Amino acid sequence: MDPNAEQSLLDRSCASALIRWATFYQNSGAWSNDAAYNAGRKFRGDLFRFRKPNYEDLYVPAAYIIHYQLGHIYMAKVALERLNQSRKPDQKFIRIVDFGAGASACRIATTLMMAESLERGQPIDNVYIVEVDESRFMQSMGEFVWQAFVGIVLTEFTNSPLAQAVENIASIQVSHWRSVLAIKTNTWLTAFHAIYPDTYDMRTEAAQIFNHISPTMGVFTCHSRKLEKMREAFPFHNRREGGGGFYPRFIPGPDGKVFPPTFHLAEQAKRLGFRNQRRRPFLQAKDCAILWGSENPF
């Protein structure tokens, strides 16, 4: 898929979801542009200080989409492609359990990965994603983004590998990993910047997750300064891979003009009271550690 078309697709999908989210709360009288501005600033501060944001605040999913979602998608796409390179040729079905799924970035990244794999002649027939997240607000925002994404793909990219990937992916959202049905084969376990190591005993819960789900492979991302705590909780090969997806600063438009890759999203963010965001999406491209897994980690 052409990179510029892909970036425009993601930008417009997130912008559409943001409009839908804000319109709902505007119609109920709960939305305030001043409150959105303050919530957006606090959200960014929490992320930079490794504090867990309040995902039950109605403004936080919107701030997440503006400042984080696009970079998160690209980071997940790169990581999933690494796992896909280890996939056996006859493995046509994959189940992904995405821990701390947030706004469904992994689902969209998986779809992009599936399309590129199909273009290379390495098709994946079906993917089933179980999105695990305790925040219903974030899950709802994820559905908004996904519906906008699918709508554009099926309208503008008909009969393309991306449209085929959309048709071959299914998902379910649950609030806790104990709700996940244990399947012993072809399961990938992912957690993209979803773990806050200082908030609970990860080692104990990680062991329970692995024993319940029995993943064949896994990928977990975090700030590099949190790597040791992640290694303690997820004792895979302990390989460290720096970087994630790299989102360009600008993209050329069809009319020859040059726009930031978050053009549509930034316009809506400004209209709704959030701080104007025209830079590259927030992503720890140089401060991101990834742990890769193999079979039987425990």
Please give the Cα distance from 212 to 228 (Å, whole number): 24
Please give the Cα distance from 110 to 63 (Å, whole number): 23
The per-residue pLDDT for range 187-197, each reduced to its tens digit, is 898 888 876 65
Lowest average pLDDT, out of 28-32, 138-142, 254-258, goes to 254-258
- What pLDDT, on a 0 to 100 scale, did the predictor assign at position 246? 47
Please give the Cα distance from 100 to 128 (Å, whole number): 16
Fold of 3-292: Rossmann fold (3.40.50)
- What pLDDT, on a 0 to 100 scale, did the predictor assign at position 83? 85
Tokens of 203: 């080692």
- Which is more confidently placed, 289 or 192? 192
The closest of 277, 217, 290 to 247, measured between CA atoms, is 277
Tokens of 130: 């179980």
Please give the Cα distance from 36 to 243 (Å, whole number): 31
Please give the Cα distance from 250 to 252 (Å, whole number): 7
The per-residue pLDDT for range 66-103, each reduced to its tens digit, is 988 988 898 888 888 888 888 887 888 999 999 889 99
Backbone Cα Rg of the chain: 18
Dump the DSSP string for 40-89: HHHHHHHHHTTPPP-TTSTTHHHHHIIIIIHHHHHHHHHHHHHHHHTS-T
- What pLDDT, on a 0 to 100 scale, did the predictor assign at position 284? 41
Over the chain, what is the mean pLDDT?
82
Q: Decide: 98 and 127 in contact? Cβ < 8 Å.
A: no
The per-residue pLDDT for range 6-35, each reduced to its tens digit, is 888 999 999 999 999 999 999 999 999 999
Domain ranges of the chain: 3-292
- What pLDDT, on a 0 to 100 scale, did the predictor assign at position 63? 93
C-alpha distances in Å from residue 137, one per residue of 143, 157, 294: 10, 29, 33
